[in-house]
């Protein structure tokens, strides 16, 4: 039967051409999408409550634009790309270098945030319960910082196992996805930065 022959041939070509997208990739993309939904609600709350605080301190009195931290975080996106690129070329040395740079930049961001909070709490007496500004500020920035922290933990784990001699090249996919997550955290910072330090002031 001609039909059946056509079928078999058809099936074979199908099988060869059938390359659906990588599941890890799909997973991480949709994880990022839900995280975006989560952040957007915190951002919305921040926007709604701008200027609604009943008592001070108000943003314009106490917030300083964290230029250096921002530069660090944003450039870490570049360095993590360079690291991942190096890994894809199997250049372990360069990978390690850029990875460590990324971690340093991320750490610098976290430290800067910590110092900012310390100043706000102990000098300006702004806590999460002081007023609506405090509530929305700490929760939004804190949510972002917690994401940076999680990213940082994963970055450190990768670094640790690499330094211990684990063949990290075999895990290239996972490293790649981690770098995407890191880019996402950076992108969120752009939004948070705009909302908190520019619109909100």
Partner 1 sequence: MSHEIHHGEAGERTEQSHIELPHPTFWPMVFAFGITLLCAGLVTHWAVSAVGFVLAFRAALGWWHDLIPIEKYEEVPVDPAHRPAPIMVETRTVVRLKLGESGHRVHVPESARPYSAGIRGGLAGGVAMAGLACLYGLIAQHSIWYPINLLAGVVIPDMGSQSLEQLRAFNGLAFVAAFIGHGVLSILMGIVYAAILPMFPKHAPFWAGILMPLFWSGLVATTLNILNPVLNERISWPWFVVCQLAFGLIGGYVIARSTNIHTMQSWSIAERAKLEAPGIRPPREDSDK
Partner 2 sequence: MASIDYPLERPRHGEKTYSFSEALYSWVSTVDHKRLGLMYIVAALIFMIIAGIMAVVIRMQLMFPESHVVSPDTFNRLFTMHGTTMVFLLGMPMIAGFSNYFVPLMIGARDMAFPRMNAFGFWIFLFGGLLLYFSYIGGGGLGGAGSAPDVGWFAYAPLTSKAFSRGAATDYWILGILVSGVGSIASAINVIATTISLRCPGMTLSRMPMFVWVMLVDSWLILIALPPLNAAQIMLLMDRHLGSNFFETQAGGSAVLWQHFFWIFGHPEVYILIFPAFAILSEVIPVFSRKPIFGKPAMVGAVVAIGFISLGVWAHHMFAVGMTAWSNTFFAASSMLVGVPTGIKIFNWTATMYGGRIRYSTAMMYCCAFLLQFLVAGLTGIMLAVAPFDWQLHDSYFVVAHFHFTLIGGAVFGIFAGIYYWFPKVTGKLLSEKLGKWNFWLFVIGFNMTFLTLHFAGFLGMPRRIYTYAPDRGWDTINFIASVGAFIQAAAVACFVWNVLYTLKKGEPAGDDPWDGWTLEWATTSPPPEYNFEKLPVVRSSRPLWDLKHPQDPDWKYE
Between residues 83 and 175, which has the closer beta carbon with respect to partner 2?
175
From 68-76, 138-146, 164-172, 181-189, span contacting partner 1 (CB under 8 A): 164-172
CA-to-CA distance for 122 and 60, rounded, in angstroms? 17
Is residue 150 part of the contact set for partner 2 (CB under 8 A)?
Answer: no
Is residue 9 part of the contact set for partner 2 (CB under 8 A)?
Answer: no
Q: Is the peptide bond before 57 cis (omega within 30 degrees of 0)?
A: yes
What are the distances in angstroms from CA 118 to CA 53, 82, 111, 140?
21, 33, 10, 16
CA-to-CA distance for 35 and 45, rounded, in angstroms? 16
Residue 20: which residues within 8 A CB-CB, separation 6 or more?
none
From 65-73, 88-96, 99-107, 167-175, span contacting partner 1 (CB under 8 A): 167-175
Residue 166 site contact among partner 1, partner 2, none (CB < 5 to 8 Å, cut-off depends on kind): partner 1
Between residues 93 and 167, which has the closer beta carbon with respect to partner 1?
167
Residue 164 site contact among partner 1, partner 2, none (CB < 5 to 8 Å, cut-off depends on kind): none
Is residue 54 part of the contact set for partner 2 (CB under 8 A)?
Answer: yes
Closest CA to 35 of 151, 199, 118: 151
Q: What angle do CA 186, 191, 197 make, to 5 degrees?
A: 110
CA-to-CA distance for 159 and 98, rounded, in angstroms? 11
Scan residues 7-36 and list those touching partner 1 (CB under 8 A): 11, 15
Closest CA to 137 of 36, 38, 58, 35: 58
Smallest gap from Cβ 194 to partner 2, in A, equals: 19
Between residues 23 and 60, which has the closer beta carbon with respect to partner 2?
23
From 32-40, 49-57, 90-98, 165-173, span contacting partner 1 (CB under 8 A): 165-173
Binding site for partner 1 (CB under 8 A): 11, 15, 166-167, 170-171, 174
């Amino acid at each position: 039967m001609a039909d059946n022959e056509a079928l078999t041939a058809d099936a074979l070509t199908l099988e060869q051409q059938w390359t659906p997208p990588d599941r890890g990739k799909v997973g991480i993309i949709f994880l990022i999408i839900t995280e975006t939904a989560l952040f957007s609600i915190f951002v919305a709350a921040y926007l709604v409550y701008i200027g609604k605080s009943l008592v001070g301190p108000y943003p314009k009195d106490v917030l300083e634009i964290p230029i250096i931290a921002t530069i660090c975080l944003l450039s870490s996106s570049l360095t993590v790309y360079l690291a991942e690129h190096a890994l894809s070329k199997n250049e372990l040395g360069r990978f390690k270098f850029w990875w460590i740079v990324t971690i340093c930049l991320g750490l610098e961001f976290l430290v800067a945030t910590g110092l900012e909070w310390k100043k706000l709490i102990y000098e300006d007496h702004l806590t999460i319960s002081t007023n609506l500004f405090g509530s929305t500020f700490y929760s939004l920035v804190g949510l972002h910082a917690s994401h940076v922290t999680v990213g940082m933990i994963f970055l450190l784990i990768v670094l640790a196992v690499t330094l211990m001699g684990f063949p990290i090249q075999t895990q290239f996919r996972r490293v790649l996805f981690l770098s995407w997550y890191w880019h996402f955290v950076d992108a969120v910072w752009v939004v948070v930065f705009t909302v908190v330090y520019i619109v909100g002031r």
